[in-house]
Amino acid sequence: MDEGTGRRIPELMAPAGSPEALHAAVAAGADAVYLSGKRFGARRYAPNFDREEMAGIISYCHERDISVYVTINTLIADSEMEDAIGDALHLYRCGVDAIIIQDIGLFALLHRFVPGLALHASTQMTVHSVEGIRAVYVLGARRVVLAREMTLPEITTAGEVARELGVGLEVFVHGALCYSYSGQCLLSSLIGGRSGNRGACAQPCRKPYELVFWSEDAFGRPERMRRAGRGPSYLLSPRDLCTYPRIEEIAAAPVDALKIEGRMRSPEYVSAVVSVYRRALDAAAAGRFAPSKDAMRLLLEAFNREFTGGYLLDARKGTVMGTDFAANRGLLVGHVEKMGPSAKTAVVRLTGMHTPAAGDGMVITAMPDRSDAVGVVLRRDPEVKGGMVELPVHQRVQAGAAVYLTSGKEIAALHQQILHEPLRAPLPLSLHLKFAGATPVLSGKVRTRRGEVSYELASAIPMEPARTQPVPEEKLRELIGRTGDVPYRIEDFAIDYPGGLFSPIGVINAFRRSFFEGLGHTIAAQYLPDPEEADAAERRIEDYLRRRTIAPPPPFGEAPAVSVWAATLEGVRAAVDGGCTRVCFEPSCARNGDAGGADTPAAGSERMAASLTA
């Protein structure tokens, strides 16, 4: 909440798929981070964190008043349940703020045996209605990550019910969208054996497909198959969600957290996106938010598949899908006017969004799917005249072709700047230095979101009566008041100094460092559970696991099943005749229509499907 205006602002939650991304999120101003262990997260191929790293990361964030949510958001097999419960209990002892869960069985067990552990319902649980919120509330959910298919009016209505129940709501505001409801898609598992519900989605929705039509013969078999269009396109690929221009409207909704997707993204991406939303939310809290062209440029340059307001803002107006291209589009910087005099350069009219500079990587393309893309890397700053610039090319490009910036130095430079000059506001600290005889005693009070924390430390090495030059009070204030890279801002500093004492500067500096270290540990300790309750929870779990029975694992040594791919009915028949029990039938079709020559289907007489383009 902004102290000046009293406006309530939701928590800004950032992705942390690696230690580097986590530090970027903290520096860029995130209120919370979400991350995963090595086994049970929905982003298995991110670096993620092991148990030892997790304990340190949780403490690091809590010392900075940042919440930590850990995902165990895959479906858990019977044989894995003990390990998943063990991971959750370890996180509980580390003081994690909450665990984000998909598996309903794990959810029920943790709520039953570890009641002090906060549980959040993952978006993988597909909660998209008031009834869904009520259902996970009964399970013990303290917060629900809503399905990305919900609109803002629907969320507003659901928020009224959620508040009555005491359940928080969390919504995605930026990043990749799934083609299906999260948690309900089996396409990756079906096509490649990599299940999205096991953290291994291969993103088949980002592959090119072609739409085909066919008729059926008297036996219901497909015939007269042909393409519906002129070539493959990315029929299942959604655009990326971006709500920045309307973030003030979303922040005013009854939601507790605004979430940025991207645990597979780079630290530079995290810095750029989190910093844009941090500044936007701070401006909204102060009542002065206005969308910025520079901020949108940063978001586009960081990564985009073309932006959409998603179901959240655009309702169901057909803006979600981006079927012409499925990878990073980059930032549109201009269009080709003509080839240069030497035929080795292209004259480009700039849009004004970016001025090309040395180190930029660009793509020139006239085709929506970029099948004609020509890459450009600038070795030096080009000369710009009248909004025009000549770019080096190794082949001819079409007039009117679009020029996109796909990599540049600005995002990397911003990342380094944020790491050295964090946007995260330091915690306000009040200090009092007093003396017990000649021994310095430093006490401090710091305000966190959980309340005020106090800490006091007496120096292990007393000062001594000065023989020649005592340490003046101003010098003590300077040495003790050096905050350096600790996350505090000294608001007031009282000193009761008798004077006439001496101590080496190194000893005073070591005393200051010990104080700040102890203060950080004291802040982090607020989040830790009562040791007796943690021990009791562990005993309850151990007792349950001793009595638990599970089905035996499938036997090994069985002959592997053979699947055959076939493109024709003759191929299917041959596979079956050969003893195959599983056939993947992907019908082929003529490039230019069937023998009848028609490229469009007869109304009511044909079927339609999409097939993956090889």
- For the domain made up of 331-406, the CATH class stated in words is mainly beta
Residue 604 pLDDT > 50, yes or no? no
- Among the residue ranges 406-410, 463-467, 518-522, the one predicted with the least confidence is 406-410
Q: Report which residue type is found at 204.
A: P
Residue 612 pLDDT > 80, yes or no? no
Residue 424 pLDDT > 80, yes or no? yes
pLDDT in tens, 172-189: 999 999 999 998 999 998
Looking at residue 480, its pLDDT comes to 96
Residue 407 pLDDT > 60, yes or no? yes
Q: What is the mean pLDDT of residues 290-315?
A: 93
Looking at residue 226, its pLDDT comes to 83
Q: What is the mean pLDDT of residues 281-294?
A: 95
pLDDT in tens, 535-593: 999 999 999 999 888 777 666 666 667 788 888 888 889 999 988 888 888 776 544 44
Q: Report which residue type is found at 459.
A: S
Looking at residue 602, its pLDDT comes to 43
Residue 302 pLDDT > 90, yes or no? yes
Domains of the chain: which residue ranges?
11-177+238-313, 188-237+558-614, 331-406, 427-525
Q: What is the mean pLDDT of residues 452-460?
A: 96
The CA-to-CA distance between both ends of the chain, in Å, stands at 53
Residue 418 in tokens = 């944020």
Q: Report which residue type is found at 558.
A: E
Residue 126 pLDDT > 90, yes or no? yes
Q: What is the mean pLDDT of residues 589-603?
A: 43
Q: Report which residue type is found at 351.
A: T
Torsion of CA 487, 493, 496, 498, to 10 degrees: 80
Among residues of the chain, what percentage have pLDDT more than 70? 92
Q: What is the mean pLDDT of residues 26-55?
A: 92
Q: Report which residue type is found at 407.
A: S
Q: How confident is the model at residue 608 (pLDDT cuts 50, 70, 90)?
A: low
pLDDT in tens, 189-220: 888 888 888 888 889 999 988 888 888 888 88
More confident residue, 559 or 56: 56
Looking at residue 148, its pLDDT comes to 95
More confident residue, 41 or 66: 66
More confident residue, 560 or 533: 533
Looking at residue 315, its pLDDT comes to 67
Looking at residue 114, its pLDDT comes to 97
Q: Distance (Å, rounded) from C-alpha 16 to C-alpha 36?
A: 8
Looking at residue 306, its pLDDT comes to 92
Q: What is the mean pLDDT of residues 360-383?
A: 89
CATH 3.20.20.140 fits 11-177+238-313, yes or no: no
Q: Tell me if 235 sits within 8 A of 209, measured CB to CB.
A: yes
**Listed residue (31, 116, 166) closest to 527, CA to CA:** 116
Q: Tell me if 74 sits within 8 A of 199, measured CB to CB.
A: yes
C-alpha Rg value of the chain to the nearest Å: 30
Q: How confident is the model at residue 15 (pLDDT cuts 50, 70, 90)?
A: very high
What letters, b where the CB count within 10 A reaches 16 and e where it falls short, cover 513-531?
eebbeebbebbbeebebee
Q: Tell me if 321 sits within 8 A of 307, measured CB to CB.
A: no
Residue 512 pLDDT > 90, yes or no? yes
**Listed residue (40, 44, 39, 41) closest to 194, CA to CA:** 44
Write out the DSSP string of 440-478. Answer: EEEEEEEEETTEEEEEEEE-SS--EE-SS-PPPHHHHHH
Residue 141 pLDDT > 90, yes or no? yes
Q: Tell me if 444 sits within 8 A of 454, measured CB to CB.
A: yes
Q: Whats the size of the chain, residue-wise?
A: 614
- Among the residue ranges 40-44, 47-51, 500-504, the one predicted with the least confidence is 40-44
Q: What is the mean pLDDT of the chain?
A: 90
Q: Tell me if 397 sits within 8 A of 2, measured CB to CB.
A: no
Looking at residue 562, its pLDDT comes to 79
Looking at residue 592, its pLDDT comes to 42
Residue 231 pLDDT > 70, yes or no? no
More confident residue, 15 or 371: 15
Burial class (CB in 10 A: 0-12, 13-18, 19+), 72: buried
Looking at residue 553, its pLDDT comes to 67
- Scanning 421-560, the segments in alpha helix (DSSP H) are 473-480, 505-525, 531-547
Looking at residue 369, its pLDDT comes to 79
Looking at residue 232, its pLDDT comes to 64
Q: Tell me if 23 sits within 8 A of 420, measured CB to CB.
A: no
Q: Distance (Å, rounded) from C-alpha 88 to C-alpha 106?
A: 10
φ, ψ dihedrals at 145, nearest 5°: -90, 105
Residue 534 pLDDT > 50, yes or no? yes
Write out the DSSP string of 103-167. Answer: -HHHHHHHHHH-TTS-EEE-GGG---SHHHHHHHHHHT-SEEE--TT--HHHHHHHHHHHHHHT-
Residue 130 pLDDT > 90, yes or no? yes
